[in-house]
Structure 1
């Protein structure tokens, strides 16, 4: 029910407004009355009415002054001003003070009611808008952690355009960073491949949560930082108090984080430290340098801090990694060229040795990178190499255990040959199913069976049935029936053909069997289907 408050020093007028209109029938109650502005203000602040009807001329405090006080108290009450003066200056002032309407005395009850009802419509619209805003705000708050994390990832990985817009979003998303002395750090679990074998995804997720907890504990003295997850990494962005903290305090804090995680969880982590940048506009540069640093784990080892200075002392050479040879190896797997695969593997290691005897760590790093690219190719090509060669998941460990170049080359040959033959088997199976499907589409009008097709491609019916279900997703007989029914729909468009003729045309010797099968897959008999498409 809407609350209406009346203010006028003319008691008869107030009485008339109250009694001449059946307010309750319009879902309105008169919650209070006053005969002067001061008393009215006290009651209005207490009752908080939706609508106020007030005279412009009153003792102690006039209507305009009362309206000004209502506005200053930021009340949502809508006001209707009554005045006996046809003076535009009064109306103008009332509008400036956000009066909803200005009525001249004497006012008919009809005019007052219409004005009140118009205001109620405005209030209803405002309430709907306010409810929507509250709903959006609740949804925003619920999704804020995800929004915040995605936004941070975006500015870390991409150049920033409008820094003013970015700073506004920092405030909107409650991001706890300052626009100076920023460092992006990447924290990664060591031996992540082994950990993913030993632990479930839920366990790994809980480990990451624990790591973030330890980060927050260790960061209690630093007020401005953000922690977020990105794939297998945890990113820690810090705003330092001053540049000098980079080489002293920051290293101490990060080393404390690393040691605390290892001591409490039993897992070692490597932390790559990005370069120090002056503002949010180039925070992506700090993240980029941290990303380069984390990639040097193969050279520098695990369970350590990797600083920008560590990266500078590594002697990177233009031909330190044989990119083209890696592509040749992957292409050999793609086209199933065994001879080319062997030659490409040999060229890969010849390239690595072209500048002299490579170090053990360099060779292992290159081999692990090659394995990573090969496994990525298999995943992107939907090649399941795990089913028959689950042992290959420990290939990274096997390479790490090798002590000579010869052992590394032998190991990589074994791994890649295993993958090669797995892909070859998959292609062979796919080819057999394609032949079977092609035979069905060419001979659907004949008496075909699992046994007859098996003889055509020289495999057992049971094996063909297994391949069919595996590759197509449905069994052999269901595929044949579905194909025949689809072809029969084309023949049913011909009004001159009888149902028994169509049954024969699509491979059914019995019209009743055809009709029953047709209804199973379409929900209609052939006759009803024909009527539906020809009506």
Structure 2
């Protein structure tokens, strides 16, 4: 659905166009109103508008100047001009600023709806072209290095991608890699000399080191590499496609890979005057062993190389990937993190995250007290972070379970931990959902109070300014909570107020119209009759 903005210095005309045309029939969901070009620009800065209908002749900034500003800042917005002047110069400037249409006042409803439909068609054509398969492929081609890096980082961090999805992405990114291929991984740390350089120089040196690696390995191997969050370079080493099985066996020998790695160290020191340390993994299967290979390399750098320089280490093949005595929990620390999900109130995602955490504990860790403690402290940390971030206290959010927190964990089984987590999480979730509801209820009250006290000038924009919210967000929240839009609410409130004034005062009809925001009495009479079936005078006489 599209969003429309109507701009004219005649409030009655704007109100008439906004409320009396069947905009929903042509896929318009929201209609915003502005009575000057400056007010229109304020709305445009805060709200994603698709189409603007503007009068040409307005005090201050004209409609033509307005669409020039729109064209400069929001090139995607379509503009339709309304004018009481059949002047070629106006039409010429409108064409220069790529106006979708130029209509003469008074404009018929059908004519205006057709013009907006034409603008919608232009928008659809433009976005279809932008999102077309051909454009998408061209964009992917330009951004291939970034996309490849993101994919490799995801695989290293253990993100689950189905075989079908992974093969599709590999093909799309033009990576000559077969699912199930054997592979090695090499972790590289650039040292001392390199990090004495400026940021611009180190980027060039990193690029040079990766080029040397490509040159050394390119004849028989494919390299796929990325810089990880620790500042290491991770190289995935695979045999080139089209080689015989005997050749692959020869190339995927750890000694052959180690010789290439030693050459890389030598040439980096010789030509770039710096040292690098390298750790080579055991052979693995792509992509099944990637995250385990990566964890092994990180751990080996930390435990076996540490702060030493210019080292080359190959991991022992006798160490198996399966049945490791101890390693970190995967789902507890893989993105999205639990504290981020709690902070943003993604409750369904929190449920899924906790399910994955407990499934991993039950299937792979049994009732290991170590892992139960690790999971407990991680969950408590995430909850504490989210609760304090929302300016709440643990004791208020956890209720009786806070005592358990103060006394420390006494869980002996995963079931006990899961039961406690479900309890505290459900309590906190209810508090946060009530808080959101209370916040929305408060917004509705402020909207209705302001509207009743400032009925003559009340509009979506003035109300949004009063409650300090984006008009688009306010409009959606109001409709979600009350079932009607703010424009409908204001229109109904104005008519009910008018009916009350007609019954209880002797004010003139034009005075009542002005009191509720209608400067044009004939327009007020039309709206009143549409609502009550009689004119204001007939209503008063009854």
Q: TM-score, normalised by structure 1?
A: 0.33
Q: Which has the higher contact order (CA 8 A, sep 6+)?
A: 2
Q: TM-score, normalised by structure 2?
A: 0.33
Structure showing greater radius of gyration is 1
